[in-house]
Structure 1
């Protein structure tokens, strides 16, 4: 439902609860998807605790890349859709 429709059909107090509920739901979905993607991508890329022990800087670089990629996916699928 578009924001203008929500403003027209719901009083302010109801609209606030509606928006908070939607935000909370999307936020929870985004966090779950982000965590799942980071785990899957790190396994796929071979970014393990062994790599972390051997070469911390390389591990940090790869994890930052993975986290950025996961955030882009979450943003495009849930936030900007």
Structure 2
């Protein structure tokens, strides 16, 4: 019996009943921690960018890609918050004088920064 292209490339088959099933495995990938930004982007890829998701998964680069997206998003998020805090004059003194106002203003800044990150990095 002649070898198939899969066998010529070093592939092996496994017999299950009367059928020969190719033994296929995804390439090994280094595990990196993925935070909330990376998880959100993963959900987006799975739902709206299936081809990109499949290509990254089968090439073994998905985890590294998501970790990089997560790192970029977190850095941008922190820079945006710090910049807006300075622009709006939110200081530790305000926190001491009026903690409720400080909390409300900081929550508004975080919500705005979250929207910017989602629009510019996560959902593209």
Same fold (TM over 0.5): yes
Where do 4+ consecutive residues of structure 1 move more than 6 Å?
A: none
CA RMSD of aligned residues (A): 2.0
The residue that corresponds to 1:33 in the other structure is 76
Alignment of 1:32-71 (within 5 A): 32-71=75-114
Residue 69 of structure 1 aligns to a residue in which SS?
Answer: helix
Residue 47 of structure 1 aligns to a residue in which SS?
Answer: coil
May I ask how many residue pairs the two structures share in their alignment? Answer: 76
Structure with greater Cα Rg: 2
**TM-score after normalising by structure 1:** 0.82
Whether contact under 8 Å (2:53, 2:62) holds in the other structure is no
CA distance in 2, matches of 1:6, 1:43: 38
The runs of 5 or more residues in structure 1 that have no matched partner are none
Q: Which has the higher strand share?
A: 2
The runs of 5 or more residues in structure 2 that have no matched partner are 1-48
Whether contact under 8 Å (2:77, 2:117) holds in the other structure is yes
Higher RCO, 1 or 2 (CA under 8 Å, sep at least 6)? 1
- Cα deviation for residue 4 of structure 1 reads 2.3
